[in-house]
Chain A
Amino acid sequence: MPYGEPDPQDPTVLIGVELPVNEDTDVEMAYVFAEEFARLGFSEAQVLDLFHQPYYAGAYRALGTLGEPRIREVVRETMGVWGQSRQVVEDAPQTSRDWDVGLDALQPRGAWGHER
């Protein structure tokens, strides 16, 4: 970390400051994340996975506080309503007259472009 430790004498640094918290804050946060991602087209498994990712700090915190069974319940309830998006797998066009590079050239290759 490039920062020094927070100076406890600095009156503007929030250390041990009490913040108002509502009892259902975490539950509400869990519902919001589940709803928003369901509306974006995530599947139930993808939304659950989001709650397990530490980088999604909000969802991750909700999982830690509320526990796996409660989160599953929230996600299932949310998906029942908002998870209506249909997943359609659409392939890219195979050829184009304007392109001089075939799509096969975009297939994954080994390191430094060599064939695996």
Chain B
Amino acid sequence: MSQVYNWQLGRDMSYPYEGKFPDRQFAFVFNINRCIACQSCTMACKSTWTFSKGQEHMWWANVETKPYGGYPQFWDAKILNLLEKANPDMQTWDPAAGANAKAPYGKFGGQTIFEAGARMLQPAGARVLGYLPTDEEWVSPNIYEDNPVGPKGARYKFHTTGEQLPVHKTWFFYLARICNHCTYPACLAACPRRAIYKRPEDGIVLLDQSECRGYRKCVEACPYKKSMYRGNTRVSEKCIACYPRVEGTDPETEGQPMETRCMAACIGQIRMQGLVKLNSDGAWAEDRHHPLYYMVHVAKVALPLYPQFGTSPNGFYIPPRWVPREYLRQMFGPGVDQAIERYENPDRELLAVLQLFRRSNRIIFRYQIEEGPLVYEGPYRGKTVRIYNDTVIAFGKNGKEIFRTKVEEPLHVRTNKHQNSI
């Protein structure tokens, strides 16, 4: 085991391999407050990559209803339970241990899936604490909400008004997920064939199917359960981050990097993807006007999903405002309270950056704000709100402007006559 630095935990940790970091890292921010579980991302991915025989159970992108939903079922509850068994009552954070640029959430005092693996009774060759979901657990992408309900006994009919959908008796929210293309991937660590690798140019984690022998160690090890086994080919598969688009090989962008299918299809405008610069220790290099760097490291409104697992995931979430904080702290770490406070009361820059979501399918590398007039000032829920009509300009990899938008962006609507115009 090597010692590597995990900035999300604020400390060094054990990892089976030496830390190697890409020039740029594939990363993304999802704003859960906006997600309505329309599943457009899910279907965009499915119809692009996993529509073949043997891939029926595969949803590289999925949206699950928390707290009870999960794909595969119970994935997070099971991993958390395993960690708790390995290190009872010790899976805690110390936010006061000095929150700084190298440790923005303080220090994690518990054990990661790599560290806890050594303490659990597993085969000697096992490097990561994990479990293999049952076939049944893979069946439903979002159990009880993944198919329309119809009258009993009538085939191919469903209630068009939705009355028969499950009624939630308590709080809930929709968690959209794809592979986190972790900085310290558990799937990569566990593969006895070394079939999984992290690309040096963009940090995308890929699985070489010609090397894979279907041992399913990656399926067992990935705490987010985003590596999946395909029965008819007897090898595993995983999200490839739509790498041809990220490489800029789609003719539409003329060589410029393009966001993945799931990002581009998001009608709720909850998603933004980027390629961030890394330091030599794997932490994010300062890049003040990169929108993802701003949201994760400056405004700190976007937080990693289950950072305590220790894989340093590169998916970040703006947490849902209405959910009890204890649950959110478990899911996103100790930065939750600050993130929600900032998102509830966005300052001038944050409000402008939030306008960048889904205005283009090109990957944004830098933004610039041109200040505009104060257009609203007044009380709102006990606080004073000021809205400036600033213009935010997005630039691509080649430094050229991709688009510009305003906080008070006019909404252009096609007339009914031309709804289908291209």
For the complex, give the distance between the alpha carbons of A58 and B415 in Å.
30
B47 within 8 A of A: no
- Identify A19's interface contact among B161, B170, B375, B380, CB under 8 A: B170
- Identify A106's interface contact among B171, B321, B326, B418, CB under 8 A: B418
B172 within 8 A of A: yes
Given contacts A21-B171, A81-B385, A90-B412, contact A103 B421 (CB under 8 A): yes
Determine the residue in chain B with the shortest Cβ distance to A18. Answer: B170
For the complex, give the distance between the alpha carbons of A19 and B74 in Å.
16
Determine the residue in chain A with the shortest Cβ distance to B324. Answer: A20
Given contacts A22-B324, A81-B385, A92-B421, contact A29 B415 (CB under 8 A): no
Q: How large is the interface on B (under 10, 10 to 19, 20 to 34, 35 or more residues)?
A: 35 or more
Most buried by A among B322, B323, B376: B322
Q: In the complex, are the beta carbons of B418 and A91 less than 8 A apart?
A: yes
B120 within 8 A of A: no
Within 8 A of B (CB), among A16-65: 19-22, 25-26, 28-29, 31-32, 36, 39-41, 53-58, 61
B14 within 8 A of A: no
B90 within 8 A of A: no
Query: Which residues in A have their C-beta under 8 angstroms from that of B161?
Result: 54
For the complex, give the distance between the alpha carbons of A2 and B149 in Å.
10
For the complex, give the distance between the alpha carbons of A92 and B376 in Å.
32
Given contacts A19-B170, A32-B33, A84-B387, contact A53 B381 (CB under 8 A): no
Query: Which residues in B have their C-beta under 8 angstroms from that of A55?
Result: 162, 165
A9 within 8 A of B: no
A88 within 8 A of B: yes
- Identify B410's interface contact among A26, A31, A86, A91, CB under 8 A: A86
A3 within 8 A of B: yes
Q: In the complex, are the beta carbons of B324 and A54 less than 8 A apart?
A: no
Within 8 A of A (CB), among B140-177: 140, 143-144, 147, 149, 161-163, 165-168, 170-173
Given contacts A14-B68, A106-B418, contact A54 B144 (CB under 8 A): no
Chain A: interface residue total (CB-CB under 8 A): 42
A77 within 8 A of B: yes
Determine the residue in chain A with the shortest Cβ distance to B420. Answer: A106
For the complex, give the distance between the alpha carbons of A77 and B172 in Å.
24
Query: Which residues in B have their C-beta under 8 angstroms from that of A91?
Result: 414-415, 417-418
Closest chain-A Cβ to B105's Cβ sits at a distance in Å of: 22
Closest chain-A Cβ to B346's Cβ sits at a distance in Å of: 10
Determine the residue in chain A with the shortest Cβ distance to B171. Answer: A25
Q: In the complex, are the beta carbons of B269 and A40 less than 8 A apart?
A: yes
Within 8 A of A (CB), among B316-333: 320-324, 326-327
Query: Which residues in B have their C-beta under 8 angstroms from that of A53?
Result: 162
Q: In the complex, are the beta carbons of A54 and B143 less than 8 A apart?
A: no
Within 8 A of B (CB), among A71-109: 77, 80-82, 84-92, 103, 106-107
Determine the residue in chain A with the shortest Cβ distance to B73. Answer: A12
Q: In the complex, are the beta carbons of B67 and A28 less than 8 A apart?
A: no
Query: Which residues in A have their C-beta under 8 angstroms from that of B143?
Result: 3
B96 within 8 A of A: no
Given contacts A2-B147, A91-B418, A107-B417, contact A36 B381 (CB under 8 A): no
- Ordered by A's residue number, 23 sampled pairs between the chains whose C-beta atoms are within 8 Å are A19-B67, A19-B170, A19-B324, A21-B324, A22-B324, A25-B323, A32-B320, A32-B322, A36-B34, A53-B162, A54-B163, A57-B165, A57-B167, A57-B172, A61-B168, A77-B380, A81-B385, A84-B375, A85-B411, A89-B413, A90-B412, A90-B414, A91-B418
Interface of B toward A, CB cutoff 8 Å:
33-34, 36-37, 67-68, 73-74, 77-78, 140, 143-144, 147, 149, 161-163, 165-168, 170-173, 269, 320-324, 326-327, 354, 375-376, 378, 380-381, 385, 387, 408-415, 417-418, 420-421
